[in-house]
Structure 1
């Protein structure tokens, strides 16, 4: 869980909008506030008369700048991936107030804890074989799904590889469907259930596995387990492109202040992957 927005005005605005969404959707909020990255989202546990325990998550954007790709991700994943463990999506509510747009999603509440409270792993995880088998099944199903939603764009690869890796971009990367934000706070310890589908869309084949590995680099034991369990996605020419893509993305994020502790490991990670075929 992250901190509230830096500006108290934004915090109060989000809390008020969350309350309005709860009222419209018939939710009685019962749990503490759970803030997303940079205070951009606000989620709270609640109770619904028909659905029972639930989770209400709110996002916002300036009026006139509705982020269609992000805000439609959970609905697209729920409709397109019926066999993949994910929170049941009950309803979506959108509203406008004070020159801001608000997007709320009402989903089933999950009692299972996430694997780690932040994306970057900093302590070993001991997950059973059945957990990894389920994850492999989910990633296979996701990759086979059809969508025209973009997660990683070819134009971004063309810019990011030279800038953040000092490498030419891949000439003909293979794109498949991906969760798009696979890290340890988006996976539950039981299942796993995959959370937070706003980035659902197309990316280089193996991208989800590569991103999970990149977020594991500070814990060699777990990184080795990811490599062993998802090697069929990582240890291929396409997997090499995916690993470099994950490294470039997290290095770009680090240039903006996110997870700077990962930078040395990401540089080693990229060097280990080597240059893509050109």
Structure 2
């Protein structure tokens, strides 16, 4: 029987019928997915199982699957020193339409609920221990070695992508060449971390990226709450103080201020101010 999701147009799993997909996953993993726990996102669907684990199901078009694979959660299980759910196993198959792949990863349960949405509107009230765990995890991740390349927003990050993204929005006499590439989660926002106990999840896009990408991404996710954004910058000041960190600040600001900017986005003004500062500092050398 064909799966319910059409492959002839862009797919949003928040609105598509995915019952057959979830049934297939449950049979393959020999478990039961609890229907009242299902969480639906644009590119993924997750649910708790009857054996107290979590299953995350993702659909990705073939052109978005690089030669490195898309087994981010599986590969991240080998990174030591990072607070993350334990990985148990997976099932992968090709969509009958032939244009996409499905993957379901089973992991341990999170130690708490997500800290918020991808973009916060109010501070989550995090203890100091949370920030200590965040810093320890990001530092351990950056010290890891991998051949994976990060794919933020499913786009493989390259020097060319960094330059084009920044130059599309910002001008100025400064070099956009990245000096240091380190492993990054590449989708660090408040929807992908737990609180009050810190854990980092949704690892499908992780890999090497310019230093400071994760810090800049979390900062951009915090801009509607100025005190929280300032805390992110203080905690990750080594990243933000680096030349690459300034480039990544412009990289994330370009996505906020670019051609698809929403006029009522409360992040616009703080992003514009910080971008101006970053440009000045880069031009000063």
Instruction: Give the TM-score range, shorter chain.
Output: 0.7 to 0.9
Distance 1:251 1:70, change over 3 A: farther
Deviation at 1:188, TM superposition (A): 0.7
Answer yes or no: is 1:144 the counterpart of 2:150.
no
Residue pair 2:40, 2:46 contacting (<8 A) in 1 also: yes
Partner of 1:263: 268
Partner of 2:85: 87
Looking at secondary structure, tell me which structure has more helix per residue. 1
Partner of 2:30: 26
| Residue deviations 1:178-223 (CA, integer Å, cap 9, x gap) | 1111111111113310011111111111211111111111101111
Answer yes or no: is 1:190 the counterpart of 2:196.
yes
Partner of 1:35: 40
| Structure 2 CA distance for aligned equivalents of residues 191 and 7 of structure 1 | 30
Query: What is the aligned residue count?
Result: 263
| Structure 1 CA distance for aligned equivalents of residues 91 and 64 of structure 2 | 14
Residue pair 2:13, 2:45 contacting (<8 A) in 1 also: no
Residue pair 2:81, 2:141 contacting (<8 A) in 1 also: no
Distance 1:159 1:19, change over 3 A: same
Residue pair 1:179, 1:197 contacting (<8 A) in 2 also: yes
Distance 1:148 1:248, change over 3 A: farther
TM-score, length of structure 1 as denominator length? 0.84
Residues 93-132 of structure 1 aligned to structure 2 (within 5 Å): 93-99=91-97, 100-116=100-116, 118-132=117-131
Answer yes or no: is 1:178 the counterpart of 2:177.
no
Unpaired stretches in structure 2, ≥5 consecutive residues: 1-9, 151-156
Residue pair 2:127, 2:196 contacting (<8 A) in 1 also: no
Q: SS of the counterpart of 2:57?
A: strand
Deviation at 1:251, TM superposition (A): 4.3
Partner of 1:166: 171
Residue pair 2:56, 2:104 contacting (<8 A) in 1 also: yes
Residue pair 1:66, 1:101 contacting (<8 A) in 2 also: no
Partner of 1:200: 206
Residue pair 2:12, 2:43 contacting (<8 A) in 1 also: no
Distance 1:223 1:27, change over 3 A: same
Partner of 2:48: 45
Distance 1:174 1:251, change over 3 A: farther
Residue in structure 2 matching 1:210, options 212, 216, 224: 216
Distance 1:191 1:156, change over 3 A: same
| Structure 2 CA distance for aligned equivalents of residues 171 and 92 of structure 1 | 38
Deviation at 1:66, TM superposition (A): 6.0
| Structure 1 CA distance for aligned equivalents of residues 197 and 11 of structure 2 | 35
Unpaired stretches in structure 1, ≥5 consecutive residues: none
Kindly report structure 1 stretches of 4+ aligned residues shifted beyond 6 Å. Answer: 5-10
Deviation at 1:144, TM superposition (A): 0.7
Residue pair 1:70, 1:198 contacting (<8 A) in 2 also: no
Q: SS of the counterpart of 1:29?
A: coil
Q: SS of the counterpart of 1:164?
A: coil
Deviation at 1:70, TM superposition (A): 6.8
